[in-house]
A and B are shown apart, each in its own frame.
Chain A
């Protein structure tokens, strides 16, 4: 793995990763409706995007769903991880372990279909949830995102020196106090990472949302999917460029903040 072969393979790999994204951005400024034929520079598709009420509405729905799903997933996932790493043996431990890791390997189509069927039967027998929409999408996303949060929280809790919690007990804090005074602050960075991951996964999900959403609650991926299914369209390029821009800015800010924090503690 020396000489020219390795750098070449790596360069090709990165071209493979980035060429489609770069062309997506470039053609978002294309005046022509034919997405891949250059017709001069223009920002008209951005204007069209901003006038598209359907896309803007679904983006708002997606953000709401992602926000609440990420919050709930952090609560469920952290509690699950805490129970599994700190409570020792209890009845149902194996079940909980299975239920918290299985969503990671469950195909989205199965999760989506089975949850929809659950919501339908619950509506028939309990009368809740009445119809499907924002609530059912949030529940579905919380469930599969909680698994990802749990993985991150569990690995952090395992790494964490348990004598920190014992020391707080030893100094006179009760178990609840220890959780909020010590455990939570120490694993907070992992929970922030988990929250961001859950938020991204929820924003990104098409399949599960398609099953469990109802009329009037289309998420952004659902709207994009129905658009691109019919072929490429330049306003989707514009949307993609905006999203990529957001991510880049967020990464740069996060990187800058991390470097500042590192310099501070050094």
Chain B
């Protein structure tokens, strides 16, 4: 998991001595008898672009709203830049938020919307509008400064909202589904623009999203949430390659999950007995005992498909192609094994094959032991 050696490591979360910029400690939020956020601990460092990822209702937005000050934690504490945020109302916090609905004031022009926060700071009108103009230039909207929000397109509105939330140079910018209302193509372009702006200004971002691709592209680190709890925090690569639970493995990307029991655990290899796959070799993992129930997770792209049994393969099964989908750069397969198990595998279409594997063919699937991730929960 070691990345390339960079002169100065920009990943302070790897440095045990680094001081977190935002510290969420033991935060719980209940509404009546519903627990939206349950005992969350989270440290975020200066300059990060942190993504809170989860399905709707997992508590990610509530956590964001507590950081902004719109909700008070039922228990726990939130510290931003060393300052305890309890009892600090939203208008006094060093944070700004970009709302999912953008929340542009409909009765104010674009310019007025952006200058609003600066005027509340007590800035002189001329100065506030000058700075608002600078900000609008940065998001390439200086020509539309006099327009009202309802005269803008969705993408333009999104940029006004971003400009308005950044113009005060907050220590922390909270973004609630910032790209959720844009269509797919615009969303992809905007993702990179967002990263560029974040790097230019050096503001710490926390982004809430339900879109895993968005989180993978944007984030320095991702916090995967489920039922008000954080399931796993890590860099995108960590989350994808070494998920800590079946939920995370399944939530990020596509995965094949097999249940099994530990049969033999050697220091260099582990054998798992699975009702679906028979005996499978997987990488060793400490702390497992014989007979313990585990799950093996493997990504579709780790499989190799071939018409003949691959030589020397440690894990190989024969099956029939039940479904096949051609998506251009790759093809997806669903292969039914004799045991009844259905395996999702994908092959990149790097070369134009003469006769690609197709429906109803008998094929061999193989996968190296190291491709498996052994999960205990």
Contacts and interface: CB of A to CB of B under 8 A. Distances in A.
Interface of A: 161, 163-164, 166-174, 177, 181-182, 185-186, 265
Given A167-B97, A171-B117, A182 B90 contact: no
Interface string B89-120: 11111011101110101110000000011001
A171 B96 contact: yes
Given A170-B68, A172-B91, A186 B106 contact: yes
A163 B102 CA distance: 8
A16 to B, nearest CB: 41
A172 B116 CA distance: 9
Contacts of A177: 120
B101 A166 contact: no
B96 A185 contact: no
Interface residues of B, number: 28
A173 B99 contact: no
Nearest to A172: B120
A184 to B, nearest CB: 10
A166 B151 contact: no
Interface in B51-96: 68-70, 89-93, 95-96
A166 B120 CA distance: 14
A171 B120 contact: yes
Given A171-B96, A172-B168, A166 B117 contact: no
A163 B104 CA distance: 9
Nearest to B116: A171
Given A168-B116, A171-B168, A172-B117, A161 B90 contact: no
Contact of A168 (B95, B105, B150): B105
A230 to B, nearest CB: 53
A166 B148 contact: no
A173 B116 CA distance: 9
Nearest to B174: A170
B150 A265 contact: yes
B336 interface: no
Interface of B: 68-70, 89-93, 95-97, 99-101, 103, 105-107, 116-117, 120-121, 148, 150-151, 164-165, 168
Nearest to A169: B90
Contacts of A181: 116
Across chains A and B, which 7 residue pairs bring their CB atoms closest together, nearest first? A171-B117, A172-B120, A167-B103, A163-B103, A169-B90, A163-B99, A185-B107
Contact of A170 (B96, B100, B106, B148): B96
A173 B70 CA distance: 13
A240 B308 CA distance: 97
Nearest to B121: A172
B175 to A, nearest CB: 12
B150 A169 contact: no
A174 B101 contact: no
B196 to A, nearest CB: 24
Nearest to A166: B70
Contacts of B69: 169-170
Contacts of A265: 148, 150-151
Nearest to A173: B120
Q: Which of A166, A167, A169, A182 has the most CB of B within 10 A?
A: A167
A166 B97 CA distance: 9
A247 to B, nearest CB: 29
Contacts of A171: 91, 96, 116-117, 120, 164, 168
B181 to A, nearest CB: 13
Contacts of B91: 169-174
